[in-house]
Amino acid sequence: QTHLLSLSLQAKMSRPVQARRLEGIDKNIWVEFVKLAATYSTVNLGQGFPDFPPPDFLKEAFVRALSGENHMLHQYTRAFGHPPLVKILAQFFGKLLGRDLDPMTNVMVTVGAYQALFCCFQAFVDDGDEVIIIEPFFDCYEPMVKMAGGMPVFVPLRPKAPKDGKLMSSADWQLDPAELASKFSDRTKAIVLNSPNNPLGKVFSRGELEVIADLCVKYDVLCISDEVYEWLVYDGKEHIRIASLQGMWDRTVIIGSAGKTFSATGWKVGWTVGPNRLLQHLCTVHQNSVYHCATAAQEAVAQGFQRELKLYGKPESYFVQLPKELQQKRDWLVQSLDAVGMKPIIPEGTYFLVADISEFKSDVADVPDSDEPYDSRFAKWMVKNKGLAAIPLSAFYCGAHKNNYNHFIRFCFAKEEATLKAANDILQKWKREKTNP
């Protein structure tokens, strides 16, 4: 028995188990805030997903895929993308980009845009390579670059005060071209561009994209272009694809998501579009990790795109209707926030808007020298005490810059009218309590 006991003691592992590449990247804002929202929120404008359904034509396509005659749709399909999906994506993006695309070599399907990003960093970034990331940024870029051995280099969008008391727009947040240029060097391997940008909703103008493109060409740098919100642009703004600018096709991977395109984030169908010389390396990562994505979901998304190609630019097109609906929702939330003095920054695109909480600071005391940025404590207090969930803007900054912009929170307005009304009620009541304590 003593022998058995000592054996079992010996069997307990004592060596460190965590690979070095995971050092410092174990915290994840979504794990924390999704749990808080689930526990306390009555109105969840935190994580970015619609609480309305995808369009009927898409749901019906999925049901047909699952219950139809073709039982092969329950089995593996082509590893780099279900043939009908890569075919229609090549046609669709070929039309948008004005070039002939080969479905087999210029398109790869992924498990959401998230896996597409992961493939890019793993495929292109070597130890010590620098990757430029524009702040504020979708938070996973930083740990993904680090996991690949790379060094993220951050450059901020800087806000300019709006004219004569007007509300700020996401267009007022701009890169300083000289500051951006100072981040490029022969160590730079890639820049990550996210337009329309999560969390600000900024849609980069042609001029802004040209500055980035010129630097990419000058320093021979890749562009990882996260365009998951490509259809969600408002006020007649145009989404410009950086891959269509001079010298950029050859060095750009475009990343898209059916989650955002068709309001079905849980399906996790994403894609990459680009030249074969880049995509072939994404295929290597994909075949050695995920290998294959859910067939029936790909089939349904393929049918969704077939419909959209036929209706391109027409009023019945979902890509025309969805931004109209979301613009209305944006305007409701802008009004609600403006009315109570939580100044919104009007987004030009995406599901999101960022609002200034300065006038609400009296509700949550500042703790000088706290490790946690003020906006994070504010957002936690708000969900616990008001039942309203949002995400602190500091979550979209690197560690060293989290306190530079710590009095903003991000709301998701891709929600049913009733959800936005409930948020408005909470804000109104809060405001009344503040004015008549």
Contact footprint for ligand PMP (CB under 6 A): 48, 112-114, 138, 194, 198, 226, 228, 257, 259, 265, 268, 270
**Of the two residues 124 and 138, which places its CB atom closer to ligand PMP in the complex?**
138
- 198 or 336: CB nearest ligand PMP: 198
Count CB neighbours of 366 within 10 A. 11
Shortest separation between residue 349's beta carbon and ligand PMP, angstroms:
11
Beta-carbon contacts of 39 under 8 Å, excluding residues fewer than 6 positions away, are: none
Q: Where are the alpha helices (DSSP H) in 152-197?
A: 177-183
Q: How far is the CB of 161 from ligand PMP (least distance, A)?
A: 27
Q: How far is the CB of 191 from ligand PMP (least distance, A)?
A: 15
Which residue's CB atom is positioned nearest to ligand PMP? 112
What is each CA distance from 402 to 345, 375, 395, 408, in whole angstroms?
Answer: 19, 10, 7, 11
Closest separation in Å from C-beta 179 to ligand PMP: 22
Is the distance from CB of 353 to CB of 346 less than 8 angstroms?
yes
DSSP state of 180: H
Closest CA to 103 of 116, 92, 117: 92
Is the preceding omega at residue 50 within 30 degrees of 0, hence cis?
no
Q: Which is nearer to ligand PMP, 386 or 415 (CB)?
A: 415
* Residue number with CB closer to ligand PMP (133 or 427): 133
Tokens of 164: 């004569």
The least CB distance from residue 260 to ligand PMP, in Å, is 7
Amino acid, res. 208: E
Q: Which is nearer to ligand PMP, 55 or 349 (CB)?
A: 349
Q: Closest approach of Cβ 208 to ligand PMP, in Å?
A: 17
Please count the CA atoms within 13 angstroms of the CA of 219 that sit on its side-chain side: 23
User: For residue 200, which of 320, 330, 318 has the smallest C-alpha distance?
Assistant: 330
**58 within 8 A of 300, measured Cβ to Cβ:** yes
Of 121 and 138, which has the nearer Cβ to ligand PMP? Answer: 138
Choice between 193 and 382, CB closer to ligand PMP: 193
Q: How far is the CB of 297 from ligand PMP (least distance, A)?
A: 12
